[in-house]
Amino acid sequence: MMHMITQPSNNLKPSQPAVQPDDDGWITVSRRRRPKAEEKRRGSRIACEVTINNLPNSILVHILSFLPTTQAAQTCVLSRRWRYLWAYIPTLIIDEFSHNEAYKMNKFLQLCRSLYLRNVSLKLGQSADYQSCFKWLEFAMRHKDVEELSLEVTASRWSHGNLHYSLPRNIFSRSRFLRVLVLYGCELRDIGTVDLRNARKLCFENINVVGNSLNGLLASCTRVEILQLKDSDSVTDLSANLPELKTLILTRCDELRSAKLTVPKLKVVKLYAFNSRLESFLLSDMVDLMEAQIDLSGEDYQGCPDLLQYVGQAKQLIIECCSLKKMFNTSAIADYSAIKVIRFELKTWNYKSNLLLIPALLKIFPNLEEFKLHQHGCRSRRNWFSGEEVEEPSTETNYGDSLSVDCSLQFLKKISYFNYNNEKLEVQLVKLLVKNAIVLENISFLNCFGDFVEYLELIEILKTCKASPKAEIVFEDDEFWYPDAKDFRVAIS
């Protein structure tokens, strides 16, 4: 603290505070200190600047690797230290590659001082120079030990084009370090030699496959764990030996006719928007399958019995379809004893025929522990938008005897019902399930429709049924119940 010594003054203004002199008649005046809040802000700003400047180059390069390459290169103007720091980043990320950027990419490869490129992500637009792009992409694959490659080819950023550009021959001949490969809008024609011995994840979307190029590529992927194929109508045959595969996802492969895969470690298989026109479907040597999900949106269920025969080994089975009767062939010999959890996603307005078939279907799952039923678009009593009463077209008139069949549910512990309408047929189905589930612990109704009084009557009906002593009924709906009781639980017995 600095002090300034002055002579006593008698010209002090009345508005100024009185200053008492010391014993010698001198007055000590101190310099005004900076407010603490201002000093705190100034100190934190200086500390932040000092901290980022004191970071080692390795950490700064790691931070820059999360930015697109063009933005990372712009940091060269910050200071002399940052001038060539961007050249050491192990990533190459181009959101929109155009013809005008070919010179920049050539310059980047010349100045790139990183020994390897961990991630290469390219989005090529309609105006891209594909010839130059594939040349330096091939250079990067051969000399920079790329670990993750994502190549997206689109006609433009706002429209989905059907253009496919063939990948260069032997582009994967020296890609032994590649672990993740993502291709969109590309064409596999003559890929030549392939070395993907360390690949763990393969994602192909909207690709055009010529000949047997895809199976040839999969033949070298002996360690792949995730395989995803989406919107690829040109794929008609899928055959490979994948000893380490754990997840298989096929989405909208409309022209797929044959699938023969050897997958001893497969745990999850998902078939979305499947047309089920398979002539041959074989997943062999499966012993650890945990989840199988099938979404059949088409009307052709020709291959369903064979399809369910192989995915029926899963612990959890999810079926999305319009007609359970067409999908399941109960007369066919199939073993579903491994299934513990099953979920039916019914995508139809005429749901009564499906509900009538459920008791018979549950008999083929002897070890079932959890049953989930979800009805999509089944607001039979109220319109989805207006809430008005509507009539459901149905030819079923007498269905009381159809639900009188006893089904053994000795291991069933939990039931979940989504979009419950409290129709007469639904009440009888729930009553039958509760009656036969001798170890039932919980039955939940989610997204219910109807009046409060009707569900009180349902509770009384379920109480009269023979059920497990530990069973309870749960209604979960924010709009149906009064505001202070969103979750309503009642013991059945």
Tens-place pLDDT, residues 214-271: 999 999 999 999 999 998 888 888 999 999 999 999 988 888 888 889 999 999 999 8
Give the residue, 184 or 37, on which the prediction is more confident.
Answer: 184
pLDDT (mean) for 285-307: 73
Q: What is the pTM of this model?
A: 0.75
**Predicted pLDDT at 14:** 46
Helix (H) or strand (E) holding 140: helix 130-143
Domain-embedded: residue 53: yes
Mean pLDDT score across all residues of the chain: 75
Question: 3-state class of 490 per DSSP?
Answer: strand
Domain-embedded: residue 8: no
**Predicted pLDDT at 383:** 40
Would you place residue 298 in the very low, low, confident or very high pLDDT band (cuts 50, 70, 90)? Answer: low
Q: Is the pLDDT of residue 412 over 70?
A: yes
Tens-place pLDDT, residues 53-87: 778 888 888 888 888 877 888 888 888 888 878 77
Domain-embedded: residue 75: yes
**Per-residue DSSP letter, 453:** H
Tens-place pLDDT, residues 339-376: 999 999 888 766 788 888 888 888 888 899 999 999 87
**Predicted pLDDT at 223:** 94
Percent of the chain with pLDDT over 90: 16
Q: Is the pLDDT of residue 446 over 70?
A: yes
**Per-residue DSSP letter, 393:** -
Q: Is 31 exposed, middle or buried (0-12, 13-18, 19+ CB in 10 A)?
A: exposed
Tens-place pLDDT, residues 113-140: 666 778 888 887 766 677 777 777 777 7
Residues in contact with 14: Cβ distance below 8 Å, sequence separation at least 6, in sequence order: none
Domain-embedded: residue 58: yes
Would you place residue 36 in the very low, low, confident or very high pLDDT band (cuts 50, 70, 90)? Answer: low
Domain-embedded: residue 231: no
Pairing outcome for strands 414-418 and 442-446: parallel
Q: Is the pLDDT of residue 491 over 80?
A: no
Q: Is the pLDDT of residue 390 over 70?
A: no
Nearest to 344 by CA among 449, 417, 424, 421: 417
Query: ∠ CA(298), CA(300), CA(305), 5° rounding?
Result: 115
Query: Which backbone phi and psi does 53 adopt, to 5 degrees?
Result: -75, -25
**Predicted pLDDT at 493:** 44
Q: Which residue has the tokens 């989905």?
A: 160
Among 62-71, 259-268, 464-473, 483-492, the range with the most confident prediction by mean pLDDT is 259-268
**Predicted pLDDT at 199:** 94
Residues linked to residue 345 through DSSP beta bridges, in sequence order: 320, 374
Alpha-carbon separation of residue 198 from 181, 219, 227 (angstroms) = 11, 12, 14
**Predicted pLDDT at 205:** 93
Q: Is the pLDDT of residue 315 over 60?
A: yes
Q: Which residue has the tokens 């309870």?
A: 472
**What six digits make up the tokens of 125?**
């637009």
Domain holding 63, by residue range, is 48-85
**Predicted pLDDT at 426:** 87
pLDDT (mean) for 483-492: 50
Domain-embedded: residue 129: no
Q: Is the pLDDT of residue 472 over 90?
A: no
Query: Which backbone phi and psi does 431 adopt, to 5 degrees?
Result: -60, -40
**Predicted pLDDT at 432:** 87
Would you place residue 3 in the very low, low, confident or very high pLDDT band (cuts 50, 70, 90)? Answer: very low
110: left (phi over 0), alpha (psi -120 to 50) or beta: alpha
What angle, 0 to 180 degrees and rounded to 10, lies between the N-to-C axes of helices 102-111 and 130-143?
20
Would you place residue 488 in the very low, low, confident or very high pLDDT band (cuts 50, 70, 90)? Answer: low
Domain-embedded: residue 484: no
Domain-embedded: residue 23: no
Q: How many domains does the chain have?
A: 1
Question: 3-state class of 46 per DSSP?
Answer: helix
